Amino acid sequence: MQVGGSMSHKAKVIVFIGSFLIVLYGISAKFYGKVIAEDDGYKELSVFMDVLQRINEDYVEAPNMNDVQEGAMRGLINSLDPYSSFLSKEQYEALEKRRENGNAGIGIILSKRSDVIYVVSVEYDSAAAEAGIRPGDYVIAINGEGVEEKSIMEADSLLRGAPGEKVQLTVFRSGRSEPLNIEMAFSDHTSTPVSHKMFDGKAGYLKVSSLANSSVEQAKFKLKTLISGGAESIVLDLRDCADGKPSAGAELANFFIRNGIIYYSQNRQGEKIKIVEADPGTHITDLPLVVLINGSTADAAEIAAGALKDRKRATLVGEKSFGVGSEQAVIKLKSGAILILSTAKYFTPDGKVIQDESARKAGILPDIVAPDKEKRQDLAVESYYNGQDDDVAKYRELQEQINRIQLEKALDILSRDAMPAKKAA
């Protein structure tokens, strides 16, 4: 029986993959700033080469070059954080084609936990919320296609299309023994990212559900509206806010911080490569402040919350935030493939890393947990036995009770602890 093919074919395979791995090491060194010792580098490469040689000499069939290349890439990238990814030329072209077909969505933001696609947040009045998708759901498949091997970018692209087009998510949910199949339609409807109101004519409430696009400008306008309307304190609600650029989170924090560090980024050597400080000209108010956060507070909102907490500018109330805070470099390879690498992580002013490899350590901790563990369990039991058969309605009622408790706690803190403060122009 012939195994593998000719020696020339084997040699080409080994040379090709060896060159590929050397280039990959070079890319890693460039973007992560790592200087690889020559002896260690060749020692690690020799292991790869030895394995590849054994595959080519002893494997039952001649290897497929494209499969080998993509498999090697994915194996390397999968050992990194959830936000690093590799897309082959074909995958990237398919992604771009889906984008051209429509960009309507279902109103969710994704991440990864334990190498599984995870729902971080769900827009309140979105198609996903109406269909019963929840933060914490693990996405197993989209339209019957498994997503275990897909990047966040790929999964997100599969959840976009023309308005009205149907999509089915298969999700696994804690507490259930079987996956759920949930169907909904893409929608280009977007809710208002910023809203405001007054409580008892004294406490201004500013709800920021998104920090993308022009949301920060809206937040600035509505914050000034509250202040001119006589607000003596502010509740900044960042619950379920999980998008936007770090600069948007920094600018939002700057409305309440006059000067000093808001956040900084750091590379793998521990070098601070970017330090973002408050601009006194962007500052708006020194009014007493409480910030509401939960497990769906992520990304830019964590930049803001972390800065306001560390600078002792606000009391944080609610639950620990999700923990997203890294910077990515997008590298287009000669083959047409796309490599996305996390090159730095974001830190709060006091040096707390927002994104940690351990989910337990990631995120921003509130100063006051609300509701506490015992109360949350009581609410869950009450929700289970409330007589409703509709699981979506039960879940919404539970979340509304939790949200109400958190808001009441924030208002109570402001009523007890608010001190005279100078209002900004």
- Listing DSSP states for 2-69 in one string gives --S--HHHHHHHHHHHHHHHHHHHHHHHHHH-----HHHHHHHHHHHHHHHHHHHHHSSSPPPHHHHH
∠ CA 121-127-131, nearest 5°, is 90
Q: Is 58 exposed, middle or buried (0-12, 13-18, 19+ CB in 10 A)?
A: exposed
304 CB burial (10 A radius; 0-12, 13-18, 19+): buried
The confidence score (pLDDT) of residue 43 equals 62
Closest CA to 236 of 310, 320, 292: 292
Predicted local confidence at residue 115, as pLDDT: 80
Residue 418: C-alpha distances to residues 203, 294, 304, 318 (Å): 10, 23, 21, 19
The predicted structure's pLDDT at residue 42: 54
Q: Which pLDDT score is estimated for 190?
A: 78
What span, in angstroms and rounded, lies between the C-alpha atoms of 2 and 85?
37
Q: What is the DSSP string of 69-109?
A: HHHHHHHHHHTS-TT-EEE-HHHHHHHHHHHHH--BB-SEE
pLDDT value of residue 32: 45
Query: What is the model's pTM?
Result: 0.84
∠ at Cα 41 (38, 42), nearest 5°? 85
- Cis upstream peptide for 280 (omega within 30°): no
Question: Which residues on neighbouring strands pair with residue 108, listed in sequence order?
Answer: 122
Q: What is the pLDDT along the chain (425 residues), one digit of tens a residue?
A: 444 444 445 544 444 455 455 445 544 444 444 444 445 545 666 776 777 677 767 777 776 656 766 777 777 787 788 899 888 888 899 999 888 888 899 999 999 887 899 999 999 889 999 999 999 999 999 999 999 888 899 999 999 999 999 999 999 998 888 999 999 999 987 788 999 999 987 999 999 999 999 999 999 999 999 999 999 999 999 999 999 999 999 999 999 999 999 999 999 888 999 999 999 999 999 999 999 999 999 999 999 999 999 999 999 999 999 999 999 999 998 888 899 999 999 999 999 999 988 888 899 999 999 999 899 888 888 877 766 667 888 888 899 999 999 999 999 999 986 554 444 44
CA 425 to chain centre: 34
The answer to whether the Cα torsion of 343, 362, 304, 105 is positive or negative is positive
Tokens of 15: 């040379």
Please report the pLDDT score of residue 12 as a whole number: 47
The pLDDT value recorded for residue 206 is: 98
